Structure 1
Amino acid sequence: MKIFAHRGLSGFYPENTMLAFKKCLDLDIYGIELDVQKSKDNHLVVIHDEKVDRTFNGSGYVKDMTLDELKSLNSSFKNYEENIDCKVPTLREVLLLFKPTNFIINIEIKNNKIKYKNIEEDVVNLVKELNMEKRVLISSFRMKTLKKLKKICPKIKRAYLLSEKFYKYRLKSLIFSRVTKNKSYSINPNYTIVDNKFIKKCHNRDMKVLCYRVNNIEDYKKLLKIKADGIFTDFPNIMSDDIFK
């Protein structure tokens, strides 16, 4: 099963920081996952929330801060407040860190709440500049974003993020038909909605199933048994097939 470090080694270090990503370099895993938004001065920055309040010692929206202002913030994670590797990183910094490796980087475009102008083009242009098209999987909760990515650069793999709430209240057949039409590489669902039937539907459409956010070994074992293709976890150093040995 493919193991992705969710926001880096975030079970032990401040999420989406260079420290959390550097701690993954020596792990025997498939890849890492991160979230991308845009600063006020149009830089691609790696941070999950639309506001900095939860993870840093500041307040306000990412979109309203320049890169310098974001970089001036310290982590709110205890004992890491002064760590220089626990600042808001740019997407370029993270990609350059992993470029010499074999890691696959899952870039989640965070534009389901704030519609960042041209964020799809900016991400693709950076990936192409670094010649990392084959090393990247770009995911989004927005089908419009996946359609745009397909048009801009069809050879970069795309993944459709699927929440439990959305799956429950929307037409399931419509979801599968749209993702299939988009020729997405994978569906990345909340693990709680995944069962044998879900896996078979995806595999019959030549799509992988990469489940988020799996932090419990029993859930990992269940997903492995029904042949899910991968997981995103905060504890990639713990979740592995070795737990069966």
Structure 2
Amino acid sequence: MNIFAHRGLSAYYPENTMLAFSKCLDLNIYGIEFDVQKSKDNQLVIIHDEKVDRTYKASGYVKNFTLKELQSLDPVMKGYENREDCKIPTLEEVLTLFKPTDFVINIELKNSKVKYKNLEKDVIKLIKKFKMEKRVILSSFCLKSIIKCNKINSKIETSYLVDKLTYTLRLKTKIFSKIKRYNCSAIHPSFELINKDFVKKAHRKNLKINSYTVDDLEIFQELTNLKVDGIFTNYPNIFPSILD
């Protein structure tokens, strides 16, 4: 079972910040997961929500802030105000941090609600600059985005994110064949979708299964027994010891 730190060590520190990421450096885990969007001045920034409201002391869409404005914001988590390592980081900063490590980097392209121009192209360009093509998985809830990524650079692994609604609308049995046809190497489903049948169908298509967001011990044990390939968790410091 591969353990990915979901937005860094996000159960304890402001999510998707350099602090949350740096706290993972000494953990015995497989990889890191985070989300990328674009600022008003076309910079690649790491933040999950399309709006800053939930995680930072401001209001509005990420796309309406410049990088300088975004990096002036303080996180809402108490005790972490006025810290440089708790500002919204750029993709370049995060790749620089993890370049010397062996971690696999899962980058979620946040382009389902806001259509960022050239998001895929610019992310892949930076990955190539860092020579990290073999260590990155690009994931998205937007299948068109995954198709774009595979056309731009087929050497970088891609994965389709699936929630309960998407899985139902795409007729369950056909979704595995469809995403395999678009050269995905994995499927990233919500844990509530996973059962023996799901695992059998995905693995039959040689699709790895990395499930989000697993913070419950019983669910973790169920997924382990079902031979799920990996999980995204806010507690990457805990689950590796359970595996051991």
Query: Runs of at least 4 residues of structure 1 off by over 4 A?
Result: none
In structure 1, what is the equivalent of residue 7 of structure 2? 7
**Partner deviation per Cα, 1:47-102 (whole Å, 9 max, x = no partner):** 00001111111111100110000011011111111222100000000001000000
Deviation at 1:170, TM superposition (A): 2.9
- C-alpha change, 1:244 and 1:64, in structure 2 (3 Å) is closer
For the residues of structure 2 that align with 1:171 and 1:201, how far apart are their CA atoms?
13
1:3-152 equivalence runs, <5 A: 3-152=3-152
Measure, in 2, the Cα distance between the counterparts of 1:177 and 1:142. 16
The Cα of 1:200 is off from its aligned counterpart by 1.0
The CA distance in 2 between the partners of 1:8 and 1:168, in whole Å, is 30
The corresponding residue for 1:171 is 171
1:166 Cα shift? 1.5
Distance in 2 between residues matched to 1:121 and 1:17, nearest whole Å: 23
Q: Which stretches in structure 1 are left out of the alignment for 5+ residues?
A: none
Whole-angstrom distance in 1 between the partners of 2:243 and 2:151: 43
User: Deviation per CA, 1:10-38, whole angstroms, max 9, x where unpaired?
Assistant: 01100000000000000000000000000
Normalised by the length of structure 1, the TM-score is 0.98
User: Bigger shift: 179-188 or 166-175?
Assistant: 166-175
Is the contact between residue 177 and residue 205 of structure 2 (CA under 8 Å) also seen in structure 1? no
Gaps of 5+ in 2: none
Give 1:164 shift. Answer: 1.3
Relative to structure 2, which stretch is displaced further, 117-126 or 80-89?
80-89
Query: Which residue of structure 1 aligns with residue 242 of structure 2?
Result: 243
Residue 224 to residue 41, structure 1, CA distance change in 2 (3 Å): same
CA RMSD between the two structures: 0.9
Distance in structure 2 (CA, Å) of the matches to 1:150 and 1:127: 14
Partners of 1:232 and 1:217 in 2: CA distance? 13
3-state SS in 1 of match to 2:85: coil
| Structure-2 change in CA distance of 1:74 and 1:178 (3 Å) | same
Residue 239 of structure 2 aligns to a residue whose secondary structure is: coil
Q: Which amino acid aligns with 2:86?
A: C
| Structure 1 Cα separation of the partners of residues 64 and 180 of structure 2 | 36
Residues 160-213 of structure 1, C-alpha deviation per residue, up to 9 Å, x if partnerless?
Answer: 000012112331133112111012110000000001111111111111000000
TM-score by length of 2: 0.98
